[in-house]
Amino acid sequence: MKKKLLFVIVACAFFLPATVFAAKAPEYDESKNLFFANGTPITIEERTDGQEGALIKWDGGEELVPVDTSVFAGSHNSDEAIETASITMNGGKVKNIFGGGLHKSIVKKATIVMNNGTVTGSVMAGGAHHFNQTDDGDFINSSVADSKDRTKAITIVDEATVTINGGTVEFAVWGGGESYSYTGKSTVTINAGKFNYVIAGGSNGYTGDASLGIYDGEIEIVQGVNRGEMDSVSFIVNGGKINKLYAGGEPDESVTGIINDSIDLKIVDGEIAIISAGTSGGPNSLATDLIVAEINSKFEDKIGQDFDEDATTVTVNLMLIAGNEEQTIQIPKGTVFTEEELKAMVEEINNELAADNLELVGFYLDKKLTQEFDFSTPIEQDMELYMKLKDITPEQKVENPETSDVNIFLILSLVAVGAFGTTLVLKNRLS
């Protein structure tokens, strides 16, 4: 029996992956104030000794670091690819946070979550190529062209996610990396906090597809691009206080970044003093032709003249309410439905409701469902519409049934994205 078991173990060993390495322990370079997590998940906490800086913790260890420490989720000058790397900041104060590594490094998937604390410099989704430059060959010289080609790039993060739920970043949040780094895809979400800059791309190098969502917080300047190259930028602003928003780059001599393909800008809510198309390729090259924008009517007087009117839709918020559930969609200001469009939309919604033995009776302005909305009336401002549903089960026939067992959210979402094909003229009007 023992021999048989031994044979099974040995046989299985031949089918294991050829390279299986134990995760490298985090390292702290005290002489340069650089902390490398090396792919080990770490948290950054408040120090308890009364000094400025932070306590960095991980499973099996911890390290007290001073305030001028830069923290990397990845490694330093390593050929080994790190599958996942993560940093969670709950308190304390550090200089910089990077989702990738320093100089020669590869992180396939990086995650940064900031809940509290202070970063005196930057939070960067990507890695750092020229950061802490020395004369002893720590980094390999490169260019924007090299960083755009992953096979030639030196500092690599394939996919990065940054979520900030609170705290302060005194300089900037970046969706890309530092200098000639490569960041394939990045998603930055701002839910709270205070920031000087929030930038969808990196400080240079290459950032492929970047998404930036702003839902709260105080931000001085928002940019799509700064330097280097990007493929596409997607914005959604649904809250927060922003002084200046540039869909492309800020019109400054130092901002030379290029967006190659497209900028998708959606502004739903919040406070914004200035909304500008910005630049792509330097201060004298507007990003106007790249932008498709949907901007709520409350910001109509803030939209800069550098936006293309044909590619800019002024919208209003239409909240659809069914029972205790609701879904807000944006529609063009002044939308009017024809009788045929309304009939087709109702039919398609009822097709979806039929599986739950429900039928849409109509849309109403009041919660008591007494004032039916006239869809031939132009919708010029934000509005709430209540959906009146009827249970078509023969033995019940109850109006306003409970929707807890009905996938109303799915139905409302289908309405929101125009999934009812040609029945929702909204889809064509927004496109």
Residues 35-94 have pLDDT tens digits of: 999 999 999 999 999 999 999 999 999 999 999 999 999 999 999 999 999 999 999 999
Question: Mean pLDDT over residues 227-248, rounded?
Answer: 98
Average pLDDT, the chain: 87
Give all strands (DSSP E) within 26-174, no chain letters: 27-29, 34-36, 42-45, 54-58, 61-65, 70-72, 81-89, 93-94, 96-98, 105-114, 118-119, 122-124, 155-164, 168-174
DSSP 128: B
pLDDT at 329: 81
Task: Summarize pLDDT for 309-319 with one digit per residue, the tens.
Answer: 999 999 998 88
pLDDT at 345: 78
- Environment class of residue 94 by beta-carbon count within 10 Å: exposed (0-12), middle (13-18) or buried (19+)? buried
| CB distance 203 to 180 below 8 Å | no
Question: Per-residue pLDDT for 8 more than 60?
Answer: no
**How many residues are present in the chain?**
431
pLDDT at 151: 94
pLDDT at 134: 65
Question: Per-residue pLDDT for 222 more than 90?
Answer: yes
Three-class SS of residue 102? Answer: strand
pLDDT at 412: 53
Task: Summarize pLDDT for 256-298 with one digit per residue, the tens.
Answer: 999 999 999 999 999 999 999 999 999 999 999 999 999 999 9
Query: Confidence class of residue 356 from pLDDT cuts 50, 70 and 90?
Result: confident
Question: Mean pLDDT over residues 106-110, rounded?
Answer: 98
Query: Confidence class of residue 20 from pLDDT cuts 50, 70 and 90?
Result: very low
Return the ∠ at Cα 223 (arms to 299 and 116), rounded to 5°. Answer: 95
Three-class SS of residue 54? Answer: strand
- Which of 8-17, 223-232, 403-412 is the most confident on average? 223-232
